[in-house]
Amino acid sequence: MDTLRYFPDGGKNCYNVGLHLHNKYILRAGFYYGNYDNLSSPPTFNLELDGEKWANVTTSLSTDPVFHEVLYFIRKKDVSICLEQTQEGQVPFISSLEAKILNPGMYSYMDINTALYLERRTNYGANQSFPERLSDYYEAFSRFWKPEQVQNYRNFFGKNKSSTSSAENIPPYLVLQSAIEAKNVSDSIFLPINLHDKTQLVAYFVLYFYEPYPWPPANDTRRLIVSIDGERKNITTVSRTELSDDCAVVSVYPVNVTGTANVTISPAEGTTLPPILNAMEVFTTIDFSKADPSLHFYSIFYVCLYLFGVAVWFN
């Protein structure tokens, strides 16, 4: 992040990035001002993806870089990523641009009409000394997992396995080894999630629940209710052994949210252990259905392909 390219002529400046068609990707743009121009005037500008606004980039004099990330379905040969000047004298720049292909089944509720803008990806229970960016051995998809300890809950580490889990979205075990836990069986975990935009948005939530080793006694049960803004979305049981799946993943989409989304994890009937949470991802949507007429064709194509596969399977 110590190097950058800047665009003093203003206007709109674009990169055309060639990626594999009909695949989901993580796209991440990074910005680190670092007072490179000795003006102590960090700029603000727009970031665009295939003609749609991706984000408003607001840089600062902070030593921390700014990242904007989306999950995106690739439907044409070259993806256009543009930096657009929005105010005179505010010079757009970019420090890094990354693209990482995802497995087809990851983030399965995502559709080809919609990009998922990352609001947060949190590794609960881990302290600030834990790295956000893990090696490819532990995190095969280059995702950043921000460590966060939460007051009023128990923050803890367990023993972990190596590599990644086989659960939905393939979370790293290094992330699943830490968690927050309510102090009592009857207590709930309450997490307010602040969003980048205060207008009404459509959100995609993914919550990861894992029982780090050493496991509790076999006769104990951990059953959880997941609610968002007071509305019950899911009831799940966290397994304790390798004989059953190691990680319970709850995906909730679509959810209408405004400004702040309130996530609550409550004890379900029959639980003998307090609520727990290991990690969570929160995305909001960017609509691309009007930006590219070919989307309608692709939607029909994939529905037909799915129905054909079902017909062949039954035959």
Sorting pLDDT into bands at 50, 70 and 90, what band is 219? confident
Q: CB-hemisphere CA count at 13 Å for 22?
A: 6
260: phi then psi, degrees, rounded to nearest 5: -130, 130
Is residue 67, in this structure, part of any structural domain at all? yes
What is the extent of the structural domain holding 221? 120-285
- Tell which wins on pLDDT, 70 or 307: 70
Is residue 208, in this structure, part of any structural domain at all? yes
Residue 152 and residue 254 share a domain: yes
Sorting pLDDT into bands at 50, 70 and 90, what band is 215? confident
Residue 14 pairs in a beta bridge with: 82
Tally of structural domains, the chain: 2
CATH value at residue 68: 2.60.120.260
Residue 177 and residue 69 share a domain: no
Q: Please count the other Cβ atoms lying within 10 Å of the Cβ belonging to residue 281.
A: 22
Query: Average of pLDDT values for 11-15?
Result: 95
Q: What is the pLDDT of residues 171-193, one digit of tens each?
A: 999 999 999 999 999 999 999 99
Q: Is the pLDDT of residue 298 over 80?
A: no
Q: What is the pLDDT of residues 259-296, one digit of tens each?
A: 999 999 999 999 999 999 999 999 999 999 876 554 44
Residue 104 and residue 129 share a domain: no
- Burial class of residue 229 in the structure, from the number of CB atoms within 10 Å of its CB (0-12 exposed, 13-18 middle, 19+ buried): middle
Is residue 307, in this structure, part of any structural domain at all? no
Is residue 147, in this structure, part of any structural domain at all? yes
Residue 199 and residue 58 share a domain: no
Residue 137 and residue 98 share a domain: no
pLDDT, residue 240, reads 72
Residue 146 and residue 88 share a domain: no
pLDDT, residue 10, reads 85
Residue 256 and residue 145 share a domain: yes
Q: What is the pLDDT of residues 94-124, one digit of tens each?
A: 999 999 999 999 999 999 999 999 999 999 9
pLDDT, residue 218, reads 81
Residue 263 and residue 194 share a domain: yes
Query: Average of pLDDT values for 200-225?
Result: 91
